[in-house]
Each structure stands twice: as C-alpha cells, then as structure tokens.
Amino acid sequence: RLFVEAPLAPGPLALSGPAAHYLVGVMRMRPGDPVKLFDDVTGEWLATASHVGRRDLTLDVAERLREREAVPDLWLLAAPLKKGRVDWMAEKACELGVARLVPVLTRRTVVDRPNTDRLRAHMVEAAEQCGRTALPQVAEPAKLAALLRDWPAERALFFADEQGGAPALEAMRARPGPAAVLIGPEGGFDDEEREAVRALPQAVGVSLGPRILRADTAAAAAVALWMAAAGD
Ligand code: SAM
C-alpha cells in the first residue's frame, strides 16, 4: 500500500525515485503484481505493475476501491520532543486519526526547530500501514501565544494538564465538534502559559489520570480519548 503525491486516475502511472525503489527494490514487485495506491485527494485505487525496470516501473491504475475518508476534526497541538519521541508521537497521531499536527513552541520546549518534513514522512508511512486514505497536515511550528491569539472561535481546546482538570473523556463528550488537544513539553507548561491557556474561552483543562505521563504517551492517550468520545 503506497501513498503517491499526484492525484490518481485510471490509466498508466510511471514511478521512479523512492516510490519505485520501495516497490522494485524492497517489495520485489513483478509485472502483474497488484498494489494499492492512495493520494489524499481521490481515495484508494487498485493498480497492477505493467512494466518493471531496474529503477522505475509503470503501474496500470484500474479500479477505485474507496473514496477519500472523512477525517475526524481533531488537531494535535504538541511541543516538539527529541527525535525518536516526536517521530513516535506523529506516527501514533496519524494511526489514531488526527486531521492536523501543530508543533507548539513553549518556554520549556527543548527542540525549537522540529523537522516538519521528517514528521510528515513518518505520517505518510503510518497512513500507508494503517489504511488511511487521507494524510494529516503538518503545520509550521508556532509559538503558543500566537496560537492562542488567533484561536478559532468554534474550536474547543482540550488542555492536558497534569496538575488536574476535568476527566478527559467526560469533558470531551460534553463538548462535541471541532477540537484540538494541547500537550506540553517534557518539562510541562510554566505558570504564565498555564494561565494564558486557561483564559481562552474555548479552553477546557483536562486530566488524563493520576499519573504523570510522558508527553508522547499523553498525546496518544488524549487523541484516543477524543476519538472514543466522538465515536471515531
Ligand atoms: N511538568 C511535569 C513535571 O516535570 O513534573 C511533567 C510534564 S508531562 C511529562 C508533559 C505533558 O504531558 C504535560 O504538559 C501535559 O500536557 C501532559 N500530561 C502528562 N500527564 C498528564 C496527566 N496525567 N493529565 C493531563 N496531562 C498530562
């Protein structure tokens, strides 16, 4: 199962570069072998290899298997973490169904220039593996204050606060509709940031339980709870 950038349509599709390397070099595709493709626009298609070269191949895109999915309207706002942990977080966010990942820069954020191309690549791989037909967007990193200043009126902001808040599942069930979950860095938010978030009318402070979770665990838990509350 492979993501391709170009919008798919019935007919021949020539591939080279990393996609061809994956199909020819890694998956050892032969003429006649099937592959599922998706493009984030038209949905998922069944294709068959018609020509396989050493570094390129041509697929015959035949039948549309699924329309592009309707993506649950949840954004994950999370402070970037060290490489392995933020990669894991992006992968799990994609598998669990988020629409958008927003790296948030806070006072205690340790990585102030997250590699958004790498995060997107992890999400593409996760989408290929988990059967998504839509890719989450990866936003440019933004400062917490700027995000709060321009926060959309209709979008709830579930602020995961290890110092306490409403039980997350109940709070999320009580506030259906477009939403975001906000997860702090490993050192947490400072008091001023916590106050600024709480002052936002759309913010709801939520607890993920009595234990302090690592930020990547907290992100996966909060997204899973929102999906459960929304029935997605
Ligand atoms: N400031 C804390 C400390 O050093 O003791 C730890 C912060 S925690 C590792 C990182 C982030 O995960 C927090 O900012 C919060 O958003 C989220 N988090 C972790 N455990 C949580 C919980 N039990 N309830 C809600 N949020 C939690």
Quick one: which of 21, 8, 12 has its CA closest to 56? 21
What pLDDT shows up at residue 6?
84
Report d(CA 25, CA 18) in Å as an integer. Answer: 10
Which has the closest alpha carbon to 186: 215, 208, 210, 217? Answer: 215
Question: Is 102:142 a contact under the CB 8 Å cutoff?
Answer: yes
Nearest CA to ligand 1 atom 12: 215
What's the fold here for domain 74-230?
Alpha/beta knot (3.40.1280)
Ligand 1: residue of 76, 213, 217 to mutate (most ligand atoms within 8 A of CB) is 213
Q: Among 104, 212, 216, name the best residue to mutate to test ligand 1's pocket (greatest count of ligand atoms within 8 A of Cβ).
A: 212
Domains 2-66 and 74-230 share a fold: no
The dihedral sign for the CA sequence 220, 225, 227, 228: positive
Mean pLDDT by 10 residues, the chain (232 residues): 93 94 94 96 97 94 95 96 92 98 94 91 96 96 97 98 96 98 96 97 98 97 98 89
Nearest ligand 1 atom, CA 214: 9
212 CA distance to ligand 1 middle (Å): 5
Fold of 2-66: Ribosomal Protein L25; Chain P (2.40.240)
Say which residue the tokens 């290899």 belong to. 49
ipTM over 0.90: yes
From the CA of 184, give the closest atom in ligand 1. 14
- Domains of the chain, by residue range, sit at 2-66, 74-230
What local confidence, expressed as pLDDT, does residue 167 receive?
98
| Ligand 1 center from residue 149 Cα (angstroms) | 23
User: How many other CB atoms sit within 10 Å of the CB of residue 160?
Assistant: 24
